[in-house]
């Protein structure tokens, strides 16, 4: 993992639609050398996957909300059970077990408030291990990067 590998990764994290020739040119390598590096990085799992990022508003699901959840029973098994239930929901785009005042934080992508209400019924209100949950509706998305600096 040298300077050129990092350069390739940084370029691909922002735009993976470049052809191999364009990428090779951008990093100052021959197409064959560049392709070999990319294949190596994919095989090693450093590049996990190549995906299309949609424009949220143009693809529906523009409503985002963050929910912090406090469980009654904090044990590992209870935590896992709740996370599994949350992950099964397609409106849940991110689910984290965290330290601090709460146990779980969820990122929701919703069509409308009705969908949110129905989701709350399923995973918060009907779930008898949830002590409290706080909803933060996203008003403004100032940054939403998939890239990680390396």
Partner DNA sequence: CTTGAAAAAAAGTGCCC
Partner DNA sequence: GGGCACTTTTTTTCAAG
Considering beta carbons, is residue 128 or 144 the nearer one to its own copies?
144
The residue within the footprint of DNA, chosen from 31, 79, 81, 105 (CB under 7 A), is: 31
Question: Mapped to the 3 state alphabet, what secondary structure does 70-85 carry?
Answer: EECCCCHHHHHHHHHH
Whether 69 contacts 51, CB under 8 Å: no
Q: Is 93 in the site for DNA (CB under 7 A)?
A: no
Q: Which two tokens stand for residue 10?
A: 């940084």
User: Please, what sign has the CA dihedral across residues 117, 122, 123, 129?
Assistant: positive
In the complex with DNA, which residue's Cβ is closer, 9 or 123?
Answer: 9
Q: How far, in whole angstroms, is CA 47 from its chain's centroid?
A: 15
Q: Which of 27, 69, 95, 123 is in the footprint of its own copies by CB under 8 A?
A: 95
Stretch that binds DNA, among 31-39, 81-89, 91-99, 114-122 (CB under 7 A): 31-39
Nearest one of 60, 63, 68 to 86, comparing CA atoms: 68
Using CB under 7 A as the binding rule, whether residue 6 contacts DNA is answered as no
Residue 101 binds its own copies, judged by CB under 8 A: yes
Name which of 125 and 132 has its Cβ closer to its own copies. 132
Biggest distance spanned by C-alpha atoms of the chain: 60
- The one of its own copies, DNA, none whose footprint includes residue 140, by CB under 5 to 8 A per kind, is its own copies
Q: Which residues bind DNA (CB under 7 A)?
A: 4, 19-22, 29-33, 35-37, 39
């Amino acid at each position: 993992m040298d300077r050129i590998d990092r350069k390739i990764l940084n370029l691909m994290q922002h735009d993976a639609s470049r052809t191999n020739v364009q990428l090779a040119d951008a990093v100052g390598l021959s197409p064959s050398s560049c392709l070999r590096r990319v294949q190596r990085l994919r095989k090693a799992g450093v590049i996990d996957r190549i995906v299309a990022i949609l424009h949220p508003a143009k693809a529906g699901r523009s409503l985002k909300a963050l929910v912090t959840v406090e469980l009654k029973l904090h044990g590992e098994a209870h935590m896992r059970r709740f996370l599994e239930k949350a992950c099964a929901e397609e409106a849940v785009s991110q689910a984290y077990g965290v330290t601090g005042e709460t146990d779980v934080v969820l990122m929701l992508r919703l069509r409308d408030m009705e969908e949110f209400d129905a989701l709350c019924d399923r995973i918060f209100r009907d779930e008898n291990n949830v002590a409290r949950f706080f909803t933060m509706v996203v008003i403004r998305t100032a940054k939403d990067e998939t890239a990680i600096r390396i």
